[in-house]
Structure formats: C-alpha cells, structure tokens
Amino acid sequence: MDTILGGFIIVSVVHILSARYPWFLINAPGTALGLGIFQAALWFPAIIAYIAKIVVMRLGGGRLYEDVAMPFAVGMAASSHHG
C-alpha cells in the first residue's frame, strides 16, 4: 500500500509541474511507466527516441518531424510486431 501511495504522490507532483511549467519535460504517464515493472525494458528505447526527436526537431523543424520522422517511427513500431 505504501508503494501505491508513493507512486500516486510522485505522479501527481510531476503532473502538476508539467501542467504549470511548459519547459518541464517529464510527463506523468512516463513517470508511472518508469516506476513500474517495465523500467528496464523501457528506459533505453525511450532515451534513444527522445534524442532522435531532439535531433530531428533541431535539424528540420516541425515539418520534417511530422512529414518524415513520425511516419517512419510508426512504420517501424508497426512492423516490429508483425515480423
């Protein structure tokens, strides 16, 4: 029960901070997943995806991100589950 209460408090604080400050990059669902059982399998791909997003946004802006990077990422994710 202590773990559930602690997780609720942490996720609530992160949600309030991200709602109040737009520059706060951590979001509540990500925190909930990171604190759960998936953290070992989730952190490395999430960090790689975040770095790739930053690079694409800096080099090509929103247009490159929406027109090329997002369809590519969705296609890669879909094809990885359909072998």
- CA distance linking residue 31 with residue 19, whole number of Å: 14
Q: Write down the domain spans for the chain.
A: 1-36, 37-83
- Angle between helix 28-35 and 2-20 (nearest 10): 150
pTM of the model: 0.51
SS (H, E, C) the chain: CHHHHHHHHHHHHHHHHHHHCCCCCCCHHHHHHHHCCCHHHHHHHHHHHHHHHHHHHHHHHHHHHHHHHHHHHHHHHHHHHCC
* Per-residue pLDDT tens digits for 13-70: 888 988 898 888 887 777 776 666 666 666 788 788 889 999 999 999 989 999 999 9
